[in-house]
Amino acid sequence: MGILGLLEDAECALGSGFRNEGDLILLLDAGESATSQEEQRKEFSSSEYAKTIHGIVAGAPPAIDLAGEKRLIESLVKLASEKVILSAHDVSDGGLAVTLVESCFGSATGEESCLSADVNLDLVAAETANRASAEFALFGERGARVVISLPTAALARVEAIAAQYRIKVYRIGTVTRGDFRIQYKGVPVIQGSVDLLRRTWGDALGKAVEAA
């Protein structure tokens, strides 16, 4: 059953796209990350990034944390029911970086252009004692994580609800209208026009079909 099936009011259902310039971007994390570099290597070898960029198809997918997933879904249902968040997008294929970019793409409505994001993952790096490489942090596909956006005024309530469900909260960025940017360990690792990223993303399916 999806999240919508758990909501009592369908009007509380959320989209994945960012809504407003200036909104906060948070990462909610209910899972356990790979602790050793060897575990990270095995996990990352099965990612879309490893396959596409390095031509590697190996390793094992991240373990599924059913208890963490359950707590995360329950927290999202409460957040959505109280209408304190404006969007939610789970981290899956392509990892956190792709989730953030897709949240920008989903923000376009009618003639309006996509919103963008200015993201700083230094707090995420500090939490893992800087063990993770930039590639793993950006494109690792561990589940039980979701990117949400919300007004600044709702931050305290979101943090309180997350604490009830033992969900870690990282304040990682702001919705903007400038270039899309991700910083990791004090260094910009991804930066560019959202329009260019969207064209690249949109062409990926056609290229995959041609290569099949």
- Each residue of 1-51: pLDDT tens digit? 444 445 566 566 789 999 999 999 999 999 876 556 666 666 666 667 666
Cα(93)–Cα(100) distance, rounded to whole angstroms?
Answer: 12
The residue type found at 131 is R
Q: In this predicted model, which residue has the larger pLDDT, 66 or 110?
A: 66
Q: Is the pLDDT of residue 157 over 80?
A: yes
Compute the radius of gyration of the chain from its Cα atoms: 17
- Measured CA to CA, the distance from residue 145 to residue 153 in angstroms comes to 23
Give tens-digit pLDDT for 177-188: 989 999 998 899
Q: What is the pLDDT of residue 212?
A: 40
What pLDDT is stored for residue 51 in this prediction?
67
In this model, does residue 162 exceed pLDDT 90? yes
pLDDT category of residue 113 using cuts at 50, 70 and 90: confident
For residue 206, is pLDDT > 70? no
14 backbone dihedrals φ, ψ, rounded to 5°: -115, 150
Superfamily covering domain 17-36+66-202: PurM-like C-terminal domain (3.90.650.10)
Q: How far apart are CA 97 and CA 100, in angstroms?
A: 5
The angle formed by the CA atoms of residues 189, 190 and 193, to the nearest 5 degrees, is 155
Kindly tell me if the per-residue pLDDT of 80 is higher than 70: yes
Question: Rounded CA gap, 59 and 117, in Å?
Answer: 32
Q: Alpha-carbon distance 179 to 200, whole Å?
A: 15
172 pLDDT band, cuts 50/70/90, is very high
Residues of the chain above pLDDT 90, percent: 50
Mean local confidence (pLDDT), 50-67 = 74
The share of the chain scoring above pLDDT 70, in percent, equals 72
Taking residue 105's Cβ as centre, other Cβ atoms within 10 Å add up to: 17
- What's the angle, vertex CA 29, arms to CA 23 and CA 31, rounded to 5? 170
Count the neighbouring beta carbons within 10 Å of the beta carbon of residue 11. 7
